[in-house]
Amino acid sequence: MEVKVDGQRSVTNTPANPRQRQEERQRAGGRSVPGRRARGTGSKAPAPDRGQQPPRQDAAATPLILPTDVGLSLPRLAGVPTRYPIHTDVSEGAALALALLDAEVIDEDDFTRGDDPASFIARSVQRLWLPDGLEDFGLTYTFATVDEQLYFLITLDEGHYLDFAPVAEVCDNVNDQLGPSLLMHLYAHTPLTLAFTPEVCRELIAMNYWEGFDDADYLLEQARADLAYAQGVDEDSLSAEEVESYADSHYFTPRRVDSLIEKRYQQPGKFSLEACRDLCRHHGFANLGRVCELLGELELLGETFPERSESFYELSDGYKPFAVVVGLQREGVEQDLVDEIFREYEQQVWQGGEYEPLYALEIKATEPGSLNTLKTALGVGKRSLEVTQKLYDTLEVTRCLFP
């Protein structure tokens, strides 16, 4: 967990949509096809090239109200200069610090002689608004001046793994819709961590590769070329049915995803949260009952977050962030399909863009009401993180950072 309010962030010009990113890769000589691998060989798709990740190195502390270079600290922006504005006048940072002090967002006790405003703000926000003992989150709180507006952002830094399968196995002893229902509520009620569920996995494959732009035609062309090469025949001799069948066996097509993920996890949500809790209690699953209570609290907290600033998302040209991968698919499949597709998604983020913030709030240092809204957002964020940590601890499932 970090707080960033200073430094310089460089933004490169990258293609704005999946089709353009794909064309860029083609011009570079690569053929990135989602999850292509030989079926029946037992081999996994190549791991993402971690060398392509941007370096994590903090810029020197300066009196700027801007984010440090921390990997996925800010999304790529559309229609703004390729380098975020830089304000070298220390008075701007001092004015913000004084305004935050007056609004009791930060505390004067956190000031150290010789501090620049950014360091002072960061230290105080860290102490007052970030819970202790967090283990499962890589979030950054950022104050950023973008397009002459000051924003407070909550941004995801890196993915985490939460294996929901053991919970589902317990739930199946009660009702085969309890696990999918709990998973749906986990996705819907955790405002600072969005779950990469099987349903989301299927939607990503369908929309990003097969139903948007003309990517499907391109991927089928690649499938035709691969099949012709494998069989040693001319591409024109292959029928459309043969090519589609080959694609369904070797590529992440919607049909293949449908065949590997249990239907009940593709459109979950049969039971209300209250019904889930009552079922768990009735059958003696105290931990799962507690999970339902925590999800209910997170739902209420999500409703108390101040309305996010849509103006920032109109500038943003990034990806939807996900903090949780859930492995649930049919038995007997060689590998975890959801996890594999998430890693493909993660690699595309590194190659062609950045995550959108989970939350963005426009603030004005000259308006007390705006700073009171910021204080509310920080308080709700802190409590949401505390409850989410309790949720993870209560689930008692395997967690690990991606390598």
Close Cβ partners of 115 (under 8 Å, ≥ 6 residues apart): 123
Sort strands 160-162 and 399-401 into parallel, antiparallel or unpaired. antiparallel
In whole angstroms, what is the distance from residue 59 CA to residue 204 CA?
35
- Listed in order, strand segments (DSSP E) in 185-323 are 195-196
Structure confidence by residue, pLDDT tens digits, 70-88: 333 456 666 665 444 444 4
Output the pTM of the full model. Answer: 0.74
Instruction: Kindly report the number of other CB atoms within 10 A of residue 325's CB atom.
Output: 25
pLDDT at residue 92, rounded to an integer: 75
Backbone angles phi, psi at 49, to 5 degrees: -75, 95
According to DSSP, residue 382 is labeled H
pLDDT at residue 21, rounded to an integer: 40
Tokens, residue 341 = 């597709």
Structure confidence by residue, pLDDT tens digits, 172-221: 888 989 999 999 998 889 888 888 888 888 888 887 777 655 567 788 88
CA atoms within 13 A on the CB side of 371: 17
Q: For each successive 10 residues of the chain (403 residues), what is the average pLDDT?
A: 45 36 41 39 33 34 34 56 48 85 92 83 89 78 83 80 81 90 90 85 80 70 91 92 89 82 83 95 91 95 94 83 75 70 80 80 92 96 92 72 43
In whole angstroms, what is the distance from residue 24 CA to residue 384 CA?
39
Amino acid at 379: G
pLDDT at residue 295, rounded to an integer: 95
Tokens, residue 366 = 């000259």
Largest CA-CA distance found in the chain, in angstroms, rounded:
78
pLDDT at residue 25, rounded to an integer: 41
Domain ranges of the chain: 2-37+48-401
Least Cα distance to 331 among 251, 397, 398, 265 occurs for: 265
In whole angstroms, what is the distance from residue 35 CA to residue 142 CA?
34
